[in-house]
Homo-oligomer: A and B are copies of this chain.
Amino acid sequence: MKIGLIGLGKMGGNMRERIRRAGHEVVGFDFNPDVTDVPTLEALVESLEAPRLVWVMVPHGAPTSSTVAKLGDLLSPGDLVIDGGNSRFTEDFVNDELLAGKGIGYLDCGVSGGIWGLENGYGLMVGGRDEHVELAMPIFDALRPEGPRDEGFVHAGDIGAGHYTKMVHNGIEYGLMAAYAEGYELLEAKDIVKNVPGAFKAWSRGTVVRSWLLDLMVKALEENPTLEGVSDYTADSGEGRWTVEEAIANSVPMPVISASLFARFASRQQASPTMQAVAALRGQFGGHQVMT
């Protein structure tokens, strides 16, 4: 099979490699001349044969929507576009409507795996119509981990369901990481506990909390047993926010995942205006000194 792949960054570059290793032909395009296979998007489209399959792997938001718009102009009815980026699921409705008006198919695909994906394969969550999923299945099979298809791939539902599922996946990830991290802090805080890295490592087998994230935590603590010098400044990349926004939109109580999101926000503040206000309030009681 032959596909076009737009966006050859950290993720896209590795995905091109993994698809090729599976025996498919990939024509990659990127604005970076060092990595691109063709000089222009037009050239990419021309290099493919109908029905063309083009995988978009660029930053979400404007880069993705403008790429999809351009593809809408360049592709023909019966072709298929897959957005594999970190788009919000609501953008899929827009993309699909635009392309459907021109007879071009659309799938949204949430992709998990990071830099480990090249070797381990990528977890794939797809939204869209059955016939489009079928068309792209050889590529999904190339990208996903070895083993039974349904352990690394799902056709989760209608347009948007792929990115939605990936969004929830990341929301869960926020909560999982925070749970391990709170446990880490509590162990660190206790004087009778002398071997915190060893405690995490001992959970690797036979316990309820064993997981890939635990394995990463073990590695992190082997490299730096007290996380000395590690900044607590923690970014967030969109999916966590969207998850909580969707919880609100759907009246779903989400105390755990929202708490893990807010902790990230707090980690980036030099001082907490909320706690400045609490301190100022206490100062007004008269008995509590306000520090400055």
Contact = CB atoms under 8 A, between A and B. Distances in A.
A281 B182 contact: no
Contacts of A13: none
Interface in A160-203: 160-161, 164-165, 168-190, 192-195, 198-199, 201-203
Given A256-B260, A257-B182, A177 B278 contact: yes
Contact of A291 (B220, B231, B243, B251): B231
Interface string A233-258: 11100000101111110111111111
Contacts of A174: 179
Contacts of A252: 182, 185-186, 189, 265, 274
Contacts of A150: 198, 201-202
Interface residues of A, number: 138
A236 B255 CA distance: 17
A252 B187 CA distance: 10
Contacts of A157: 192-195
